[in-house]
A = this chain, B = another copy of it.
Amino acid sequence: MGITLEQAQKAVQAAHQKALAMGVKMNIAVVDAGANLTAFARMDDAWLGSLDISIKKAKTARFFDMPTGDLGKASQPGGPLYNIEHSNGGLITFPGGIPIKDGSGTIIGAIGVSGSTVEDDHEVAEAGRQAVAGQ
């Protein structure tokens, strides 16, 4: 459904290369249009706790078709979606998850990255996304 394994592995590889260049240790997950895990890589010595977070970021980005950080802005105390994280078996709503679109703008999957600061996570996810977006 949506992204192919070849595309998903290309996204993981690009994110991996970016992480190596930045000197960070990441968990990198790509899900398809059905939010099913399609490709995954855990860099040596990356945080153990980031494994689950990377997968949840990718799923969250596809569940709501937006970057995870955007959802997090609305889920703060007093915000309209406060504590939405309790749905779908657990969401992660800080940056590091980004939808992936094909050339026609259709969402074909999403990438989620976790292992460093949320800024780093997002930057690595973005590198993965760009490697396959618009195809």
What is the interface of chain A, defined by CB distance below 8 A to chain B? Answer: 1, 4-5, 8-9, 32-44, 47-53, 56, 60, 62-65, 72, 75-78, 80-95, 117-118
Contacts and interface: CB of A to CB of B under 8 A. Distances in A.
B87 A41 contact: no
Contacts of A44: 4-5
Contacts of A53: 84, 87-88
Contact of A83 (B34, B47, B85, B88): B85
Q: Count identical subunits in the complex.
A: 4
A117 B80 contact: yes
A93 B108 CA distance: 30
Contacts of A49: 60, 63-64, 87-88, 91
Contacts of A85: 83, 86
Contact of A52 (B40, B88, B92): B88
B43 A5 contact: yes
